[in-house]
Every structure is written in structure tokens, then in C-alpha cells.
Chains A and B, each alone.
Chain A
């Protein structure tokens, strides 16, 4: 997809020249069998400064993944616009790298060849592909597994390969769609620390979708809370934790007050009236028996004490 370099729309004066992502009045709906379209996103508007880590938080079905796909150019918005580095996103874009919920590696390719896939598709020469794949695997700590097939790797290792692949075209923005959801709790928290290390080395802007408050606070500079259908930003919470982040910081007052304010917003955004029921929060309109939308809602649920000993 060619960049529409002529179109400078979305670069607003308020956000300044450092804005990496600018989203203006975004709406997206999907047709349904019943005829009434499902409005996934409506009036979403925010900007992300360069090199910021933003977590998009919300219950299942609030359009988090849709939002991420629109930013990545995988879905077209019905209205509104997304600009990355000042130019409009118009289809899949080399400036954004996508990490899906599952690793989505090609099982017939080894780790290095999976990482090199975007370079291959872009027609880069073999020598560049080789050296870049090697460097990226080193970055994600898998230098010794270049020749391993996906089925020979653990879930966490596969997701690291997926991150390396997303970084192959040197994107300025990394989009992560619940990248931890397929991992077990212990792998999960190590992976969070690992992701921040990779971020510190590559200095990309990160937009991360999650439904864990603890995960969002630990990783992000800023947490955007989306309401259930139609999804819109109902809160924009700054996380005042210094970097580099340490797992021990999760015990600080800043974290609990941030988490409390996010929970308050989430409670207000749903039909659940009683604050003491927030721990079992269900999104409005979700079918009974649906998966717990805020799995790992509490800090303790996510950060296992055993893991914390080792990491801090």
C-alpha cells in the first residue's frame, strides 16, 4: 500500500509534531444476520505521542481488537481517520507491526524464516533477510533457536518470534492484540518485562490491547478505557510509574490508586451498579456464560508471588 504522503490530514496542532498515531472520530460497524449493524467503535478519538506505550483496556466485545485492526490498516473505518507519523493509514502499512493474540507462525518455516517473512514479502535481498532475522531473534532472546520449527518452541517463545517478525520492517508503531492471553500466568509476567526491554531497545510506539488492569498499568504510560458497544474512549488514565518498570512497583500506592480509578470507570461504563461486584464484572450486553471479561482483574491475580520473587 502506498503512503498517501500528500494527505497530511490528522496531524493536528494540539498534539504537536511528535504524535505517532492520531485517530480522529473513528467509527466502525459490522453487518449482522439480524440486519441491525453491530456498532463496534463510535467516535473514537485520541493521539499517541512518539514512543509512548498505550494500553487499551476494556471488557470483551468493546471493540478493542477492531480498533487495533483499524490502526494497523487491516480493517477500514466507516468514518474517521487514522494517521501514523502524519500520513493516513490506508491498508496494511509497513510503519505498523502487528502481533496477534496467537503467534500465527507458519509451521513449515523455522523461526528465522518466520521472522524474515515480512522482508521476503517486501522483496528484500536474501542477505539482508538473513542478517535482520538473526539480529531480531537475538533481540527477543532466541538467537539459539533460529532453526527451530514452531512446534519445537514453547508458547512464550513462539510469541517472541511473532514480536520479532512484527519488528522486521522496522515499524515505528507496534500493535499488540492481547499478546499474553495464550500464555500461562508465570510466562505472562516474564513476558511483560521482556516486552518492555524490547521496547526500550527499539523505541517504538506501542499500542497494546488487554483486558487485565494490572498488565495495562505495569506496561503502559497511559491506559485508555473503552466502553462496551459501541466502543469509545471513556477514560484516559496516566500511569505515573518511573521507567524502567520493576514488578515490585506493583505494590506501590500509585498502582493501587490508578487501578482503583480504572475500575471506577469500568463500573460506570457497564450496567453493573454495585461497586462490590466489580470483581465479577460483566460487560453490558454480553451473553450469559461468556468468558470472564476481566480475567486477572486484580494485581495479585496476575502477579504470582513466586514469579515476583524471581523478577524484582
Chain B
């Protein structure tokens, strides 16, 4: 993920090479999309499925455009997006300090690790109804579920990232009289940032799952609710697919945002 920064000599040339490489990067992306849609269409043709079982890509695309333009999806997508962003924010801002604690204190690691791992190993699907019972069917329960599911990968990544920081840099900080908090803030977190952001990439995609699961456990709005509506009362399979596509795009979008942040923060290290 490192952007190779041009090293002075011929920046113009290096940047041109860069742009060309970017264009080349698009080729596999488009190729993959083409293969996926082709296989999908082939399955519809060969299987001869009814649209309510498996609608073709063109029909889904049409339904997708219509559902977005007539305002069927937008409010649900907005609800889910808010849940994801809040849940991710809460989860990440708890996970990073806990990760620091786990990396720094053997005692804390022994004390907390079993419960953190057990909480992660328990299916979120099984916990969701309980959380809905405690926090209601509104926004808070979704935020809790998202935060819970996002917590583990980010906390673990923070812990692993901090533990693998070059001890020589830490000694350097100590030689220049950094206290513990300064060492963590100025040396260890920045050094561990690539690994922490790797955990956040995983977390970003999990947050989407968390929001949908939370909506299934109870709620009046959101893409998870829309899936249930499309499948059950509306019996509109193309809308179901359009909703799935929206969820997938949301996940990809969030993942890309984390990647872009990563490039901005880490890419210049070379």
C-alpha cells in the first residue's frame, strides 16, 4: 500500500509513471467485474430461473436505479450508514486504548484476553436479540452491536502492532527523555499505525455486518429491514438484490476510505 514517493531527481517522470500504473491497476478491477456479471448472467440463462429466484444482472441494475431514484433505498441506507459510522467510531475509540493496555500490561492481558476472545467467538447473531432486549430496537442497540464486532480486530491489531514496534526507536525516545505517554503517542502508535489500520480495514467491513444483524434483531428502518421487507411482504427479489448490492457497495466504500486514510498517513514512509 505504500506510495513510492518520487525522490527529487525527476519528479515529473516518476509521477507520470505513477499515473500509468494507476490506469493499469484498473484493468484487473474491470476484468473481475466483467467476469462476475458474465457468470451471473450465464447462471440465469443456463438455469432458466424465475426472476423471483435469481434475477439477472440487468434486471437488478434496473431495480437498483429505480429504488434509488424513487427513494426506496436512500432513507434505509442513511439509517444503516449512521449506525455503522457511530458503531465503528465507538468501537474503534475503545479498542485502541484497550489494545495499548493489552500490549503494555501483562497483567491486563491475562485479565482481559479470555473475555475479549470469548466475546468475539460468541456469534453476534446469538447476542443481537439480547442486546436488542437491553438497548431497545432503536439506534443504540445497533451502535452497541457494531462497536462490539469492530472492537476485536482493532484491539488485537493495536496490541500486535505495538508489540512489534522497533525497540530501538523506543530506546531512542527514552534517551531523549520521553515519558511513557509521549513514547506511546509520538513513537509507538505512529509506528504501529499500518498494523492498526489493517485491523480497521477488517473492522470497517465487519461494522456493516453488525448493523444488518442489529436491524434483523429488531428495528423500523435500515437496509437489513429493507431486505426483510423485500423478501417477505413485498416479495420483490430484484429489490432484495438491489439492497444487497447497496450493502456491498457500502462495505467496499468504507474499506476504501480506510485504505485512503492509510495511504495518507502511512504511504509517505517509503
Contact = CB atoms under 8 A, between A and B. Distances in A.
B209 to A, nearest CB: 32
Given A92-B174, A149-B5, A106 B168 contact: no
B5 A121 contact: no
A108 B267 CA distance: 9
A291 to B, nearest CB: 18
- A interface secondary structure, majority: loop
B270 A92 contact: no
Given A1-B177, A93-B177, A152-B270, 16 more contacts: A74-B175, A92-B176, A92-B177, A100-B168, A104-B168, A107-B270, A117-B173, A120-B186, A121-B173, A121-B176, A121-B178, A121-B182, A149-B5, A149-B269, A151-B269, A152-B7
A246 B129 CA distance: 81
Most buried by B among A74, A121, A168: A121
Classify chain A's interface size. 20 to 34
Contacts, number: 62
Dominant SS among interface residues on chain B: helix
A72 interface: yes
Given A106-B190, A152-B7, A152-B8, A72 B175 contact: yes
Given A72-B175, A92-B177, A98-B175, A106 B187 contact: yes
Of the listed residues A93, A106, A169, the one surrounded by the most CB atoms of chain B closer than 10 A to its CB is A106
Contacts of B108: none
A108 B269 contact: yes
Interface string B177-201: 1100010001100110000000000
Interface of B: 5, 7-8, 168-169, 171-178, 182, 186-187, 190-191, 265-266, 268-270
A106 B193 CA distance: 13
A169 B171 CA distance: 17
Given A118-B177, A121-B177, A104 B270 contact: no
A14 to B, nearest CB: 30
A122 B177 contact: yes
Contacts of B178: 121
A134 interface: no
Nearest to A110: B268
A310 to B, nearest CB: 24
A74 B190 CA distance: 23
Contacts of B5: 149, 151-152
Contacts of B265: 108
B11 to A, nearest CB: 12
